[in-house]
Amino acid sequence: MKRHRRKTMKIWKKLTALALAGVLTAGLCACGNSGQANGAADGEKKDITFVLDWTPNTNHTGLYVAEKMGYFDEAGLNVTIVQPPEDGATTMVASGQAQFGIDFQDYLAPVYTSDEEVPVTAVAAIIQHNTSGIISLKEDGIESPKGLEGKNYATWGLQLEQAILKNVVTADGGDFDKVNLIPEYVTDVPTALQQDIDAVWVYYAWDGISTKVAGLDTNMFYFKDITPEFDYYSPVIIANTDFLADDPDTAKAFLNAVRKGYEYAIENPDDAADILCEAVPELDPEMVKESQEWLADQYKAEVDQWGYIDPERWNAFYNWLNENGLSEKEIPENCGFTNEYLSK
């Protein structure tokens, strides 16, 4: 969601500051592997706190389905879903106030480059591919990145954001210096595109769908289709690394229940949309249903296992950051994720 990006600079700075100050317990950088685990709950119910990245939306549907359908109960879990604090979900997970939460691979880079390692590990991909890109009104003729020349792009002013945009514009034969960077946090994409902004970075499943619901005729190009390294994971479920080490069976049981929730949403997008709207009545039902229908093919895409993180793709993005001087220090191969707690 676009609104999620509002806090990005604050969260990046606070994560780094907390780590450098040693406030967060140091933990080893979790290395990825392609192992799979069969989670099963046993004994009495265990309490789990899950912190969202922003207000509830269709990225989160599987969680609400798992709650509604009793998958958490079956796993012996009492799960509480909470909104993120001002400094973001990752700090809450790292401090142990929540066992699980949501973040994005690009936002996690500062975590894995801090001097004091932060105990946070990505354990599942909610959506298999990066669905972000640049959206614009069709009448503006921005059919590819080069088309941004001379157009007004709403920027958050982030180094990584602009580096990615420059990469795709240049790759398409364009001149990034000719793009008009307009500092603006867009919270209503359809309105912005009909006023002074020509192009906005969006995740199609929410803000892209919002333009469709609004009846706008748009163009969109995806970053992953231009530069393969930009097919990074967004969003991902993160976990407190110490919790994973101390209670792996509960971690597996939780992720197995969540998997069932997302697989239900894949098979029954309309019903899943109803469940989300029931849990969060302030959401627009039309928007949710359109988004849910679109995401049904995106949660797993071509992979057999929901949540699977491809080491090659994970490493490719961080290697790109390393090679382009966009990380505080080099991020090691296979750092920050694991498939160990997933089940089929």
Residue 22 lies in a domain: yes
Q: Are residues 113 and 157 in the same domain?
A: no
pLDDT in tens, 128-181: 999 999 999 999 999 999 999 999 999 999 999 999 999 999 999 999 999 999
Residues 44, 110, single domain; the answer is yes
Overall number of domains in the chain: 2
Residue 215's Cβ-count burial label (10 Å; 0-12, 13-18, 19+) is exposed
Residue 148 in domain: yes
- Residue 119 belongs to a domain with what CATH number? 3.40.190.10
Res 281 pLDDT > 80: yes
Query: What pLDDT digit, counting tens, does each position of 332-342 carry?
Result: 999 999 999 99
Instruction: Give the range of the structural domain holding residue 243, as residue numbers without chain letter.
Output: 2-128+232-323
Q: What is the dihedral of CA 78, 81, 85, 89, to 10 degrees?
A: 90
Residue 330 lies in a domain: no
Q: Is residue 344 part of a domain?
A: no
The strand pairing partners of 121, in sequence order, are 239
3-state secondary structure of 54: coil
How confident is the model at residue 115, as a pLDDT?
85
Which residues are CB-neighbours of 38 under 8 A, at least 6 positions away? 252, 256, 343, 344
Q: Answer yes or no: is pLDDT of 274 > 60.
A: yes
Same domain, 192 and 282: no
For residues 163 and 52, state if they share a domain: no
Q: Is residue 94 part of a domain?
A: yes
78 assigned to some structural domain:
yes
Question: pLDDT for 23-69, tens place per residue?
Answer: 333 334 655 443 333 334 445 899 999 999 999 999 999 999 999 99
In a domain, 201, yes or no: yes
Model pTM score: 0.89
Same domain membership, residue 201 and residue 222? yes
Q: Quick one: average pLDDT of 309-322?
A: 98
